[in-house]
């Protein structure tokens, strides 16, 4: 019992204490739990936890039925507990005490409780135990910030459910190709789009996810005209009226050379940007008693200080967080030295906009990136560096992005115990089940994120250079076998998004057969066919073989 509990709990929570003592309720299908809330006055269980716990053998009843209940639960407020953490204690008197600093933390405590209460034969068992956990970062989630076709609202609904289920708490709406968010930022949203936002906000509230609306006016706003700022704030008011209170002002990917009247009024781009940020911040202070504003500077991927960042930092309130993508836009790694340097530059709270597993750079859209969350220093969680959290910028293929996002969530939940290799296996198993784990690990191996790890290692290059046909045969057979297993995975969304890459595997195998035949005309003919197939496997052994041996250049 103790070993089994530790196996279930120790990989998820920082402190787990069990000693073998338990409460056993014999011949029971369910047990009742009397709830008493002291987090706020008149707190009721049904108001703070939406899930029906009967699936976990527990029926929740009012505190007035405490004398007739098997267990009692009291929820206390504890301001010292940060980052949605919790303390859960089950004592020998069948009393459960939960302390949290937020209602989201209470949700996590209840999830821990459902893992503790188990069915054993015909009995229900509740161990005497204590679990304490504080997530490593206060902001944990996703920014929809990629170029290309934005997600559907169905994708976003699924995303919010996914974040809530996996202990993440933030979604930022910032699709580059929502024209009303960027190119046509001055225009109001139509009613049908506002209805979509309403749906997302309702689900975000239910899942306890902070919903951020981000706007990008920097391409053409006239900083010198009060009417322009008014148009911007009117647009934000549209979202405020829906219930949004978390906002982002994005000045990324713009030409920040001042022109015209702006060049006359402001000495630098940083001065103009600081002026606009202050106008937006002042507006939000007037419109909302409680709000959040985050900012993405135009220089968001520096590995060092700059005049722009120095001036912007001086002009913007130190309470407003800035985004940073790491030492490059698509950072291969973020080291302790990197964060030490940039924390000293920013001198304020920082949110890492992590561009993984996004595939919108150059021709990355032809590929899918199925790698773990890797090469990020655990020291990002050191309070000295003021990193409030990390948001992943995923691929347009949301279903396939879940792998890296889920794995990142484990890093953010408890950076101290995060093991890249073991956590990756746990992620794959959690998302597709034991039956498909090995196949998906194999398929992912052939589709690495080229920005976080080397695509063709020396091992692959040596095998290809030596014309080891047997090696390529076996590798392609492994890949094909994995694809055939994954085709049976009962997940419509996954199958729809991955299908073009499954098809590409067959085309690569056909090309390899032509390569082995040695017929140059057939090789060229097969390559020409593939030019019309805009999907490719990351580790494309036939294509790399052709390149290394100059087969297309031979007569």
Tens-place pLDDT, residues 496-528: 999 999 999 999 999 999 999 988 888 888 888
Q: What is the structure's pLDDT at 124?
A: 94
| DSSP single-letter state for residue 329 | T
Q: CA nearest 392: which of 162, 205, 50?
A: 162
What DSSP assignment string belongs to 151-173? PPHHHHHHHHHHHHHTT--EEEE
What DSSP assignment string belongs to 207-226? HT-EEEEEE--TTT--TT-H
pLDDT tens for 186-224 read 999 999 999 999 999 999 999 999 999 999 999 999 999
H or E element at residue 46: helix 45-48
What DSSP assignment string belongs to 486-519? HTT---HHHHHHHHHHHHHHHHHHHHHHHHHHT-
Asked whether the predicted pLDDT for residue 555 surpasses 60, the reply is: no
Q: Which residue's structure tokens are 């039925």?
A: 65
Check: CB of residue 101 under 8 Å from CB of residue 107: no
Asked whether the predicted pLDDT for residue 67 surpasses 80, the reply is: yes
Give the angle 403-406-410 at the CA atoms, nearest 5°. Answer: 135
User: 2: pLDDT confidence band, cut at 50, 70 and 90?
Assistant: confident
**Quick one: average pLDDT of 69-94?**
96
User: 51: pLDDT confidence band, cut at 50, 70 and 90?
Assistant: confident
3-state secondary structure of 390: strand
Burial 419-446 (b: 16+ CB within 10 A, else e): eeeebbebbbbebbeeebbebbbbbbbb
Asked whether the predicted pLDDT for residue 230 surpasses 70, the reply is: yes
pLDDT tens for 153-178 read 999 999 999 999 999 999 999 999 99
For 531, other C-beta atoms within 10 Å of its C-beta total 7
- Check 158, 177, 222, 253 and give the catalytic one: 253
pLDDT tens for 446-495 read 999 999 999 999 999 999 999 999 999 999 999 999 999 999 999 999 99
pLDDT tens for 313-333 read 999 999 999 999 999 999 999
pLDDT tens for 242-253 read 999 999 999 999
**Average pLDDT value for the chain:** 95
**Quick one: average pLDDT of 275-298?**
98
pLDDT tens for 448-458 read 999 999 999 99
The span from the CA of 349 to the CA of 383, in Å, is 10
Check: CB of residue 16 under 8 Å from CB of residue 6: yes
> E-strand spans in 69-226?
71-77, 86-90, 95-100, 118-120, 123-133, 139-144, 170-173, 210-215
Structure tokens given for 303? 């590995």
Q: Which residue's structure tokens are 């893992």?
A: 115
What is the bridge-based pairing of β-strands 139-144 and 95-100? unpaired
Check: CB of residue 246 under 8 Å from CB of residue 291: yes
Query: Is 253 one of the catalytic residues?
Result: yes
Structure tokens given for 477? 């057979």
């Amino acid at each position: 019992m103790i070993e089994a509990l530790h196996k279930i709990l120790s990989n998820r929570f920082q402190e787990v204490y069990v000693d073998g003592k338990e409460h056993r309720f014999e011949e029971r299908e369910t047990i009742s739990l009397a709830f008493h809330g002291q987090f706020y006055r008149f707190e009721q269980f049904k108001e703070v936890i939406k899930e029906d716990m009967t699936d976990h053998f527990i029926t929740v009843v009012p505190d007035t039925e405490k004398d007739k209940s098997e267990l009692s639960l009291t929820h206390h407020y504890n301001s010292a507990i940060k980052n949605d953490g919790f303390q859960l204690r089950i004592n020998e008197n069948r009393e459960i005490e939960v302390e949290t600093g937020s209602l989201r933390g209470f949700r996590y405590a209840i999830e821990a409780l459902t893992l503790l209460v188990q069915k054993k034969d015909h009995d229900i068992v509740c161990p005497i135990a204590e679990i304490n956990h504080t997530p490593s970062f206060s902001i944990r989630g996703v920014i929809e910030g990629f170029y290309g076709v934005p997600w559907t609202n169905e994708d976003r609904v699924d995303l919010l459910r996914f974040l809530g289920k996996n202990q993440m708490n933030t979604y930022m709406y910032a699709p580059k190709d929502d024209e009303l968010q960027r190119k046509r930022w001055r225009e109001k949203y139509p009613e049908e789009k506002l209805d979509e936002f309403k749906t997302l906000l309702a689900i975000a509230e239910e899942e306890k996810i902070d919903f951020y609306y981000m706007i990008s006016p920097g391409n053409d706003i006239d900083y010198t005209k009060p009417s322009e700022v008014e148009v911007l704030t009117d647009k934000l008011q549209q979202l405020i009226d829906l219930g949004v209170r978390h906002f982002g002002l994005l000045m990324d990917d713009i030409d920040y050379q001042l022109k015209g009247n702006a060049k006359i009024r402001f000495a630098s781009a940083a001065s103009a940007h600081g002026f606009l940020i202050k106008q937006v911040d002042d507006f939000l202070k007037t419109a909302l008693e409680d709000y959040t504003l985050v900012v993405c500077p135009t220089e968001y991927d520096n590995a060092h200080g700059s005049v722009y960042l120095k001036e912007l930092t001086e002009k913007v309130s130190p309470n407003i967080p800035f985004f940073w993508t790491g030492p490059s836009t698509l950072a291969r790694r973020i080291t302790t030295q990197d964060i030490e340097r940039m924390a000293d530059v920013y001198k304020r709270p920082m949110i890492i906009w992590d561009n993984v597993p996004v595939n919108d750079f150059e021709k990355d859209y032809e590929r899918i990136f199925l790698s773990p969350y890797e090469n990020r220093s655990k020291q990002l969680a050191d309070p000295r560096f003021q990193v409030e959290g990390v948001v992943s910028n995923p691929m347009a293929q949301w279903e396939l992005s879940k792998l890296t996002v889920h794995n990142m969530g484990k890093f953010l939940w408890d950076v101290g115990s995060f093991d890249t290799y073991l956590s990756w296996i746990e992620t794959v198993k959690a998302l597709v089940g034991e039956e498909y784990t090995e196949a998906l690990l194999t398929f992912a191996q052939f589709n690495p994120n080229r920005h976080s790890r080397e695509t063709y290692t020396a091992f692959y290059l040596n095998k290809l250079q030596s014309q080891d046909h047997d090696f390529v045969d076996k590798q392609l057979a492994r890949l094909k076998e994995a694809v055939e297993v994954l085709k049976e995975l009962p997940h419509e969304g996954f199958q729809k998004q991955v299908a073009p890459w499954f098809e590409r595997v067959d085309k690569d195998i056909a090309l390899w057969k032509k390569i082995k035949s040695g017929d140059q005309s057939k090789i060229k003919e097969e390559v020409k066919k593939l030019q019309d197939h805009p999907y490719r496997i990351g580790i494309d052994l036939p294509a790399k073989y052709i390149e290394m041996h100059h087969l297309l250049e031979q007569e």
